[in-house]
Chain A
């Protein structure tokens, strides 16, 4: 499976093309998407935790559109980056950890959007409940752990050293 992905013409293009629109641009898109997803979820969490209390909660809910656009950019760019180096990525603990935190972060985001912000009575009153604050803290935890794990995929030898694993980085 990993072999199949790595040998796709698209994977070869991302990995080996000298074009600035191949690896460089895909990596840049992944960075911008990261900023959108982590940054906008941070804005929402900070509001729930009491920073910028004048932002109406009902208006805050609309920001999830940006989160989903950023997530879509990163799903596509992430898949391209993955197939370009499928074996290397699949062998990294940090990579699977990152996916786990991203999935948990998006789960919390959907939970906030669908249940918390959909509770019109408390949203209209502008009151943030303890559940809302706790979800905001968990959301921040997921997103910044995802960011850290993602960055650590650039240092496979170092991470393997910590985990007393050998190899894994090709």
Chain B
């Protein structure tokens, strides 16, 4: 795997493009859903956005796969990532986004939220879940981007 990924520069660039496409699907679809739950675009019934969610899930799995290839395929070894504070924080906020989603799905919140018709407010607890989701995903992107410039983060944190 490592040899294959590093055999041609274009392979790495294509994997990165896939990673960015996945990111766009997650931001566009989950972000729109979160903003609707928070009270924007109220003319859209929340359930109407639901058929878009599998596209975001597909983007997520594309990013999980390409992400695993990045970590295992890095020519300098996986420690480039695993020792990197930005990478660790990115994983932390991914876990936060995932736990947040589990709370939404395993409680009755998901059902109550999707029952919100056009013009109506989502349950307050769902708004909290959406706010956490938005913050978590922006931080996932932030720490994803600082990985390459981890020194600036360490300096900021005085580490």
The residue in B40, B149, B153 that gathers the most chain A C-beta atoms within 10 A of its C-beta is: B149
Number of residues of chain A lying within 8 A (CB) of chain B? 43
- The answer to the question of A31 belonging to the interface, with a C-beta cut-off of 8 Å to chain B, is yes
Number of residues of chain B lying within 8 A (CB) of chain A? 42
Q: Which residues of B contact A39 (CB under 8 A)?
A: 24-29, 31-32
Judged by DSSP, the binding face of B is helix
- The answer to the question of A24 belonging to the interface, with a C-beta cut-off of 8 Å to chain B, is yes
Q: Which residues of A contact B32 (CB under 8 A)?
A: 39-40, 43, 63, 66
Residue of B nearest to A150 (CB): B20
Q: Which residues of A contact B29 (CB under 8 A)?
A: 39, 42-43
Of the 9-residue stretches B10-18, B74-82, B102-110, which lies at the interface with chain A?
B10-18
Contact between chains at B31 and A46 (CB < 8 Å): no
A105: shortest Cβ distance to chain B, in Å?
Answer: 12
Partner of A58 from the list B23, B43, B141 (CB cut-off 8 Å) is B43
Judged by DSSP, the binding face of A is helix
Contact between chains at A151 and B145 (CB < 8 Å): no
Contact between chains at A34 and B20 (CB < 8 Å): yes
Contact between chains at B149 and A43 (CB < 8 Å): no
Contact between chains at B151 and A18 (CB < 8 Å): yes
- Rank and list the top 8 A-B pairs by shortest CB-CB distance, nearest first: A39-B28, A35-B27, A54-B48, A59-B43, A38-B24, A59-B44, A20-B156, A52-B51
